[in-house]
Amino acid sequence: MQTFFFAAGLLAIAVGGVHSILGEVLIFSRMRDRTIVPTRGAPLLQERHVRILWATWHIVTVFGCAIGAILLKLAHSSSQLGFQGFVGDSIVVATLLSSLLVLIGTSARHPGWIGLLGVAVLTWIGQRGALI
């Protein structure tokens, strides 16, 4: 088993789960009127904007879990190193850029950049180990 891919996969899933849970608790709970999808955002946001913001928020979690699942699969795979390298490098670039966006966009006040950077670094280290 490739330990760094495994750790990166678990971290990606954890970051996704924490993202959704804290978003619901800290942001969307105040925008909800006893419904699953929040609808209150006035005066700044209209209901349709709040709805798509909520959906987009949770899409990030779905994508994070998908990346985590791919990394967990790569952790147990020893074949197709060329494809594994492409997938791993794609995940490194995506999570590194995402980390930078959160870091810059929040002036480092949102801790999500740390988790995303952790996924990028662990995947990058895993890539180096898989190629040796």
Neighbours of 46 (CB within 10 A): 11
The pLDDT tens digits for 33-51 are: 888 889 888 888 889 889 9
Is the model's pLDDT at 14 over the cut of 70? Answer: yes
Q: What is the mean pLDDT of residues 76-87?
A: 76
Q: Which domain holds residue 70?
A: 3-131
C-alpha Rg value of the chain to the nearest Å = 17
**One-letter amino acid for residue 97 of the chain:** L
Reported confidence tier of residue 79, pLDDT bands at 50, 70, 90: low
The pLDDT tens digits for 19-33 are: 999 999 999 999 988
Reported confidence tier of residue 15, pLDDT bands at 50, 70, 90: very high
126, 88 Cβ separation under 8 angstroms: yes
Is the model's pLDDT at 132 over the cut of 70? Answer: no
The pLDDT tens digits for 88-126 are: 899 999 999 999 998 998 889 889 999 999 999 999 998
Is the model's pLDDT at 129 over the cut of 80? Answer: no
- Look at residues 3, 16, 1 and name the one whose alpha carbon lies nearest to residue 66: 16
Neighbours of 53 (CB within 10 A): 16
In this structure, the dihedral spanned by the alpha carbons of residues 49, 51, 107 and 93, taken in order and rounded to 10 degrees, is -110
pTM summary value: 0.77
CA distance 123 to 71: 8
Tally of domains within the chain: 1
